[in-house]
Chains A and B, each alone.
Chain A
Amino acid sequence: DGGITQSPKYLFRKEGQNVTLSCEQNLNHDAMYWYRQDPGQGLRLIYYSQIVNDFQKGDIAEGYSVSREKKESFPLTVTSAQKNPTAFYLCASSPSGQSSLGANYEQYFGPGTRLTVT
């Protein structure tokens, strides 16, 4: 069964604690992404990775960290430095990270993790 899995679906943490969200894909995709979704806002890019052992900051990387040691896995750590960590987090992957004219690289999304920090 191919696809992207995220775990857990719901996560609760105390303020000041780091927490790691899991994202795994078996689609053999090179590129992986982490987004944050807040009510009334479009998805915002946190980090993305085009290839193993390489990743780039997105628009809202402060307070987050990632690693890409394996092609299939792209975990996201929400650190205590993130001021407003409560949100819905979505992981996505695509065959390639490069968006070029005429290319139709599809992004496939995982089911999401809802993180609540109190």
Chain B
Amino acid sequence: KNQVEQSPQSLIILEGKNCTLQCNYTVSPFSNLRWYKQDTGRGPVSLTIMTFSENTKSNGRYTATLDADTKQSSLHITASQLSDSASYICVVSASGTYKYIFGTGTRLKVLA
């Protein structure tokens, strides 16, 4: 069964600190993996997208890694800001399908 699991479910950190969010998937055959940021009551916004051949991709203070062998991805946030408070969603798509499999997200709270 195609599944995407994220951890932790929620996280609280102090402004300026770094954090890492995890994503494990069982989607096969793998096509690509995305990380989205979703502010409360808003639609998700793409942060990064990676295919199986990419190990790391950065977008400003956000760095995503992908290990296609172990089917794991992580999203590292550097020097967190209050505006980073949001849900972060991992999404995996399988080759030959029209579907995207969504994780349940990690809710991040950055405190001043």
Q: From B95, which residue of chain A is reached at the shortest CB distance?
A: A101
Closest to B51 in A: A102
Interface size on A, residues (CB 8 A): 33
Known contacts A111-B43, A112-B41; is-contact A101 B29 (Cβ 8 Å):
yes
Chain B residues closer than 8 Å to A110, beta-carbon distance? 43
Report yes or no: A40 in contact with B104, Cβ–Cβ below 8 A: yes
Q: List, in ascending order, chain B residues with CB within 8 A of A112's CB.
A: 41-43
Determine whether the beta carbon of B31 is less than 8 Å from that of A99.
Answer: yes
* A69 interfacial by beta-carbon distance below 8 Å: no
State the B residues within 8 Å of A (CB). Answer: 4, 29, 31-32, 34, 36, 41-46, 49, 51-52, 89, 91, 93-105
Give A contacts to B, CB under 8 Å: 4, 6, 31, 35, 40-45, 48, 50, 56, 58, 88, 90, 92, 97-104, 106-112, 114
